[in-house]
Structures are given as C-alpha cells and as structure tokens.
Amino acid sequence: MAPAPAGSGTVDDRVLREKKQAENFPVALRILPRDLRADLGAVYDVARVIDDLGDEAAGAAAERTAGLLRFQNDLERAFRGEQPHERVLRDLVPAIRRRDLELEPFTRLVRANLQDQRVAAYATQAELERYCVLSADPVGRIVLRIFGVRDAEAERLSDRVCTALQLIEHCQDVAEDRRNGRVYLPEADLAAFGATATDLDARVTSRPVRLAVAAQCARALDLLTEGAALLDRLHGWARLAVAGYVAGGLATLDALRRVRWDVLSGTPRPRKPDVLAHLIALLVRPAAHVRRIREGGRFS
C-alpha cells in the first residue's frame, strides 16, 4: 500500500494518541497551559506523520519518497499561508502563526526520512550523528521557538540533547529498525566488538551487540552531560518541558541498563516513576544529576 496522498488523512487520531502514549517522554506535560500543549502536540503529530510516511512498511522506497515529497509540498503550502491538505498541517497552522515557526526545521525532518529511503546503515559515529542533525535536532529547535527562546547557545545545547535522545531511541528500537531494513548502530562499533548486522536478526542479543549498544548509550550520556546546561538557560514552562524530555531519555537508559542491553528479545520501556525521579532531580541540579549518572553508570 502506497503512502496516502495529501488530503486523505495520513494517520488517524487514534493511532497518533497511541504513539504519543508510547513515547519515552511527555510530549506535552499536562500541567502546561492549553495553548502550549496544543502547539507542542501539533508539532509532534507532524513529526510523527513524517516518520510514518518514511517507514510505511507496505510501500516501496519510491512510493515512500513520493509520499514524503507530497507532504513537503503541503508543508510549504502551510508556511505560505495557504490552506494545507493534510489535517495535521491544518492543525499546525495556529502554532506557525502564534510562535512564528520556520519551515526549515520541518524540512530537515522530511530530508531525514528521504535519506532513510536510500541509506540503510552508517559506517561511523560521525556519519550517524550527521543524520541526527536532520532527524532529531530540528525538533529541539522547534520546541525552543514555541517557548519563545531565540538563543544560539541554547540551540547548540538543544542539539546535543536531541542527538542524545535519538541515539537512545535507536538503541531501544534496534530490533524494529532491523525489521525495517535499517541499522542505526555504527558499523565501526559493531566490528570493534566482533559483531555484524546479521547478529541483529537473533532473538536474544549477543554479548558483542550488547557492547555496541552500551557504547551508544555511553555516547548519548556524554551528550546529555553537556546538553544538560540548557536547563540552566531556560525558565518557567520551557525549563519544565525540556527537563521532561531529558528525564524520559535518562529513564530509557535505566531501562536499557536493567535488561543488560538485551534489545532484541523485547523493547525496553522506561518506568514512569523513573521519569518523575529524574525530572525532579533535573529541576534541582541538572548538570550535577546527569554527571553523577555518567560517573556512576556501568556501560559494559
């Protein structure tokens, strides 16, 4: 089945709600003011639809590419002030106007999914993190804009946080990504630990693959350690929301460590109490909390 043409309703509301509930972090914390919740939710829905168009299992790469390009055209329509065809983009229009959002970060998300149609694996960590510049960092830029933050250093730190969260999600979803024909563990890491991509087809994670996953998690924690300084530059609702995203990432690292990096027999999920505990600690002393985890964590 090819991706749905613009205007047909790419993903229904029920599916989007289910995917929000499965996220590692609160997409829009319930205590945020209604307009902020609405705008963050609208952005999430657009990002989710872009990912779903890129992952449409039943379609060929050419069909997925065509669907993504149609969606890009509809995005441009929304940012030109015209009526977009897709419902999720019509829902985004109020946020575009209220927050003076820019097209470029959304275009990068589309480009990441277009890249997924032709790149199935990454040789090095540097190549993988360049992909994250397209697939993850734009989300943080959009979130900052929604909260009215226009600060180059805040954007730089946000990029560190978003790349880290993407690496954590890659570790969490190794099995699912492999089923979709993609590998987001660097080939250099797999080789260094004596593993290959075919080892990802097993039902239980071998020690070499576990070590590669642990290496990615350690890299993610390094990035979070640097990026946690972002919280000291934010105030009010922005600080609370971004702390929630970081807390979700840390709780997912807890889940990965709990299963000893076995990412093939099931998808490790964060516990809500862990998210809350990390959130409280991050609001008190963000950098110290993440640094303490990094120094005391076991990643082997």
Determine whether 12 is exposed, middle or buried from the number of CB atoms within 10 Å of its CB (0-12, 13-18, 19+): exposed
In this prediction, what percent of the chain has a pLDDT beyond 70?
A: 88
Residue 6 has pLDDT above 60, yes or no: no
Beta carbons within 8 Å of 266's beta carbon, 6+ residues apart: 259
pLDDT the model gives residue 136:
97
Rounded Cα distance, 12 and 5, in Å? 14
Query: Which residue type, as a one-letter code, is found at position 29?
Result: L
Q: pLDDT at residue 4 above 50?
A: no
The answer to pTM > 0.85 is yes
Three-state secondary structure along 11-80?
CCHHHHHHHHHCCCCCCCCCCCCHHHHHHHHHHHHHHHHHHHHHHCCCCCHHHHHHHHHHHHHHHHHHHC
The first and second tokens of residue 138, run together, are 């734009």
For 153-197, the pLDDT digits (tens) are 999 999 999 999 999 999 999 999 999 999 999 999 999 999 999
